[in-house]
Amino acid sequence: MRVTNIKARLAKLWDQLRTSFWFLPATMVGATILLAFTTIAVDERLGFELIDSLGWLYTGDSEGARLLLSTVASSIIGIAGVTFSITIAALTMASSQFGPRLLQNFVRDVGNQFVLGTFIATFVYCLLVLRTIRGSEESTFIPHISVTIGVILAMMSIGVLIYFIHHVAMSIQADNVIIRASHELNTVIEHTLTTQGNDVSQQPNRTEEQANLIFPNRASYTVTAHCTGYVQVIDSQRLLQLATEQNIVIELLHCPGDFVVQGDAIATIWLTATQNETIDKKINNSLIIGKKRTLVQDIRFAINQVVEIAVRALSPGINDPFTAITCIDQLTASLCQITNQYDPSSQCYDDTHQLRLMFKTIQFEELADTAFSQIRQYGRTNAEVTLRLLASIATIMRCTSNKVYQDILLHHAAIIAHSGQTGLADSSDQKNITRCYEDLLKSLTP
């Protein structure tokens, strides 16, 4: 969580650009506009004799150039409109199975953005070159190089169209949707693990009474949220700098992914002097609160993306346990990585080893609840899903020697086993679940 102010803002900005469908196409259009003016300038400087000697450039008259570029422009923009309309319709149908995350992934996908950018850039290029063609007797100008590049862009667009059809067909397949969501989860996990402070110690959250014992000469003050939304980014480095400069101690009451309402308490500060009104504003500015959850620092949201696919697959209308099992496998790999290295920090000190920040941390118990609870509830009537959940817990427990984590996993295993036994009517399925749970317990005995 410890990132500088600039990095936190840039991370948020990059996430907004990455999840927008216009940034890369707009960049490509801008590059194409520059290309068009450059090639036209080259055409103006080179004579027709030199161009004609190259052999492979366009050497037709002005009417032919106009017709060629007009055909390319109208065809490309028509193909772009029809293709993306059909694609959105197909994705809308597929999203009923995988959830609205599928549409978000489509918008976020760089390949899809590149395809749209190629079509629009080719269209804009042809229009810019088309306006420079003159065929009157007094002034004739045919940009041979520019027209040739327009033809090349048209052929590239055909190749991009073929790629796009293949790419969309692959992207709506269940396995690929799950893999993409799992990749985003692993990216958030790696970011969380790499930003864990080495100079902080993990302590339980303190109550106000405990805090008053630690800071007997300080008065407490509550900072409230200035807006409503989800906590997206916490700039802990900026908060540390503020606490050090003002000689105060700040306790954050929320973590990324929490929903806050305007006027809710978001932090408690302990100070020795009179409260400065600017501190309230600076603390609010150190938290980015938005309308929706993001993947910048929110590890629970990343887990929920995979869980949502599994839960929808287990719904009566879809009833696809194989997709749910694939989600469980991917969650297993991610939780193994978490149990190996996850050590959330709840305190931060300045250079003089003075306590300055206290965080509300996301404990492993909450992550395990997020990963297993809903899948267990929706999969309790499916023996294979229940057995795979127990096998998943067994795998995760082999990856960690942390006794606290093992106890949490055992608690979930007991709930899953009981839920499966009560949810399944067939006695043989109940026996299989009992045997799997007992094998899990036996594997822990030395």
Of the ranges 327-331, 362-366, 425-429, the best mean pLDDT one: 327-331
Q: Are strands 219-224 and 265-271 parallel, antiparallel or unpaired?
A: antiparallel
Specify the residue for token string 């989600």: 327
Check residue 213 and give its pLDDT: 46
- When pLDDT is averaged across residues 168-174 and rounded to a whole number, the result is 86
Q: What is the rounded CA–CA span in Å between residue 393 and residue 389?
A: 6
Dihedral sign of CA atoms 6, 8, 12, 18 in order: positive
DSSP string for 2-35? ---HHHHHHHHHHHHHHT-SSHHHHHHHHHHHHH
pLDDT at 186: 92
Q: Check residue 401 and report its DSSP letter.
A: -
Report the mean per-residue pLDDT for the chain.
85
The phi and psi torsions of 414 (rounded to 5 degrees) equal -65, -40
- Is 211 in a helix, a strand, or coil? helix
d(CA 38, CA 26): 18
**Cα distances (Å, whole numbers) of residue 334 to 27, 178, 285, 290:** 35, 13, 32, 27
The DSSP bridge partners found for residue 174 are none
% of the chain surpassing 70 pLDDT: 86
Query: What tokens were used for 62?
Result: 């002005």
For position 97, what pLDDT does the model report? Answer: 79
Could you tell me the CA-to-CA distances from 297 to 9, 261, 284, 287 in Å, in that order? Answer: 12, 20, 17, 12
Contact 277, 44 (CB under 8 A): no
User: What pLDDT shows up at residue 109?
Assistant: 84
Q: Euclidean distance between the first and final Cα of the chain, in Å? A: 38
Mean pLDDT of the region 218-222: 78
**Across residues 312-321, what is the average pLDDT?**
90
Determine the pLDDT at residue 51.
61
Identify the band that residue 208 occupies on the pLDDT scale cut at 50, 70 and 90. very low
What is the pTM assigned to this prediction?
0.81
pLDDT category at 221 given cuts 50, 70, 90 is confident
In angstroms, the CA 309 to CA 184 distance is 14
**DSSP H or E segment with residue 432:** helix 427-442
Q: Judge residue 290's burial from the number of C-beta atoms within 10 Å of its C-beta, 0-12 exposed, 13-18 middle, 19 or more buried.
A: middle
Structure tokens at 414: 């007991």
**Cβ atoms of 360 and 253 closer than 8 Å:** yes
For the chain, the C-alpha Rg in angstroms (whole number) is 29
What residues pair up with 267 in beta bridges, in sequence order? Answer: 223, 252
Place of tokens 């346990």: 321
Q: State pLDDT tens for residues 365-405.
A: 999 999 999 999 999 999 999 999 999 999 999 999 899 99
**Amino acid identity at 417:** A
Residue 6 vs residue 187, higher pLDDT: 187
Residue-level pLDDT at 6: 57
Cβ–Cβ < 8 Å for 232, 12:
yes
The dihedrals phi and psi of 245, each to the nearest 5 degrees, come to: -65, -40
Q: For the chain, which residues make up each domain, given as ranges? A: 5-172
Half-sphere exposure of 115 (CA within 13 A, CB side): 23
Looking up tokens 């000689």, which residue turns up?
A: 247
